[in-house]
């Protein structure tokens, strides 16, 4: 399955840090900022999560929900949330089903080693569940502001 702008975003069923099972369909009627990141507690992922935290109220005011997704288990997500005061749900995609559905589970190379992992990406899904914007291979600096600007301009 591939995601495509203008088409229904793939639904998923993932465990959240609070133990709840979350589906995309649950957020119909709201804009959804679905961001995939490689790993809790790492420098880039922490910066990105804290940037979303710092802009959380502005997203909320635009009827937007932020959902972070990584392969980390829900209990690790909860520790990440507690350590950095994150006010949004983090979803455990331990089997990388959602990552594969969104085309972000990729072959990566680091220090000459190859492995499968998340390619940092963000998707904006409108109130009807349609994918309206995507950013792939996200550079963390300035990205959250870019996502916020897009939602503001497309209300």
Q: Are strands 31-36 and 121-125 parallel, antiparallel or unpaired?
A: antiparallel
Residue 109 or 87, more confident: 87
Indicate whether 87 pLDDT > 80.
yes
User: So what's the pLDDT on residue 81?
Assistant: 97
Known catalytic residue: 50? no
pLDDT digit string, tens, across residues 129-151: 999 999 999 999 999 999 999 99
Residues whose CB is less than 8 angstroms from the CB of residue 80 and which lie 6 or more positions away in sequence, other chains included: 17, 40, 41, 46, 49, 72, 86, 90
Mean pLDDT on 50-64: 97
Q: Choosing from 24, 45, 98, 104, which is the catalytic residue?
A: 45
Cα dist. 73→6, 7, 37, 93, 146 in Å? 31, 29, 13, 7, 28
User: So what's the pLDDT on residue 136?
Assistant: 94
């Amino acid at each position: 399955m591939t995601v495509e702008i203008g088409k229904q975003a793939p639904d998923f069923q993932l465990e959240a840090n609070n133990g709840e099972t979350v589906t995309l369909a649950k957020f119909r009627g709201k804009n959804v900022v679905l961001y995939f990141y490689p790993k809790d507690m790492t420098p880039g992922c922490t910066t990105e999560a804290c940037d979303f935290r710092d802009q959380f109220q502005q997203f909320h005011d635009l009827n937007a929900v932020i959902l972070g997704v990584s392969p980390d288990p829900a209990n690790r997500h909860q520790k990440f949330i507690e350590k950095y005061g994150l006010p949004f749900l983090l979803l455990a995609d331990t089997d990388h089903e959602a990552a594969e559905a969104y085309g972000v589970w990729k072959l990566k190379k680091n220090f000459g080693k190859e492995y499968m992992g998340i390619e940092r990406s963000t998707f904006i899904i409108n109130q009807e569940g349609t994918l309206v914007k995507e950013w792939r291979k996200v550079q963390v600096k300035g990205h959250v502001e870019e996502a916020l600007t897009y939602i503001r301009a497309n209300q």
